[in-house]
Amino acid sequence: MEEKFEPKIIAFLCKWCSSAGSDLAGVSRMKYPPNVVPITVMCSGSISPNYILSAFKDGADGVLVSGCHPGDCHYIKGNYYARRRITLVKELLEFIGIEPERFQMSWVSAAEGAKYTEIIKDFVKELEPLGPQNKLRSNL
Amino acid sequence: MVKLDDIKKECKSILEEGKVKYIVGYKRNNNYYMSIPAFIEKIEETDQLIWDPTCVYNLVRFLRDEKLRKERQKTPDTRPIGVIVKGCDSRAINVLLQEKFIKRENVYIIGVACEKSGVIEKKKLRKKFNEKNIKQIEFGKDNNFIITTEKGKTTISAEEILAERCIECNNNTPVIYDVLLGEKVERSLSEHFRSLEKFESISTEEKWNFWKKELDKCIRCYACRSVCPMCYCDECIADSISLAVKPDTTAEEKAQKIRWVEKSPVSSENFSYHLIRALHLAGRCIDCGECERVCPVDIPLRYLNKKMEKEASEQFGYTAGLDPEKPALVSDFKDDDPQDFII
Residue B312 CB contacts under 8 Å (≥ 6 apart), including other chains: A88, B282, B283, B318, B319, B320, B329
Burial of B188 (0-12, 13-18, 19+ CB in 10 A): exposed
C-alpha distances out from residue B112 to A21, A93, B62, B104, Å:
57, 37, 17, 18
Give A81's contacts in chain B (Cβ within 8 Å). 330-331, 333
* Residue B188 dihedral angles phi and psi, to the nearest 5°: -95, -15
Segment 4-63 of chain A within 8 Å of chain B by CB: 49-50, 53-54, 57
Q: Rounded to the nearest 10 degrees, what angle do helices A113-127 and A18-27 cross at?
A: 100
Instruction: Name chain A contacts of B311, Cβ cutoff 8 Å.
Output: 87-88, 91
Tell me the one-letter amino acid at A111: A
Answer yes or no: are the C-beta atoms of A82 and A51 closer than 8 Å.
Answer: no
pLDDT at residue B192 in the model = 80
pLDDT of B307: 92
Q: What angle do CA B112, B117, B118 make, to 5 degrees?
A: 65
Interchain CB distance below 8 Å, B343 and A70: no
Q: Is B342–A81 a contact, with Cβ atoms under 8 angstroms apart?
A: no
Inter-residue long-range contacts of B225-228, CB under 8 Å, 24+ positions, other chains counted: B225/B277, B226/B294, B227/B58, B227/B61, B227/B290, B227/B291, B227/B293, B227/B294, B228/B61, B228/B281, B228/B290, B228/B291
Q: Are B177 and B90 in contact (CB under 8 A)?
A: yes
Mean pLDDT of each 10-residue bin along chain B, 343 residues long: 83 89 89 88 88 89 89 86 91 93 91 85 84 81 81 82 85 88 74 84 91 92 92 82 74 79 88 93 90 92 92 90 90 87 84
Q: Please determine, looking at this structure, whether the domain spanning A9-130 carries the CATH number 3.40.50.10860.
A: no
Conformation bin of residue A120: beta by default, left when phi > 0, alpha when psi is -120 to 50: alpha
* Closest Cα in chain B, distance from residue A12 (Å): 14
CB neighbour burial string for B254-287, b if at least 16 within 10 angstroms, e if fewer? eeeeeebbbeeeebbbbbbbbbbbbbbbbbbbbb
Q: Does A104 contact B343 at a Cβ distance shorter than 8 Å?
A: yes
Contact B321, B95 (CB under 8 A): yes
d(CA B150, CA B135): 7
Q: What is the pLDDT of residues A73-95, one digit of tens each?
A: 999 899 999 999 999 999 999 99
pLDDT digits (tens, 9 = 90+) for A91-131: 999 999 999 999 999 999 999 999 999 999 999 999 999 98
Q: Which of A95, A109, A116, A138 to mutate to test the interface with B (most CBs of B within 10 A)?
A: A95
H helix intervals, B149-294: 158-161, 164-167, 197-200, 204-215, 223-227, 251-256, 267-280, 290-294
In angstroms, the separation between the Cα of residue A8 and the nearest Cα of chain B is 19
pLDDT tens digits for range A5-41: 899 999 999 999 999 999 999 999 999 999 999 999 9
CB proximity B263 to A under 8 Å: no
Q: Find residues 93-122 of chain A whose CB sits inside 8 Å of chain B.
A: 93-100, 104-107, 119, 122
Neighbours of B203 (CB within 10 A): 9
Q: How far is B270 from chain A (nearest CA, A)?
A: 10
Kindly determine whether residue A97 and residue B311, on different chains, have CB atoms separated by under 8 Å.
no
- Does any CB of chain A come closer than 8 Å to the CB of residue B311? yes
Chain B: give the shortest CA distance to residue A134, in Å: 10
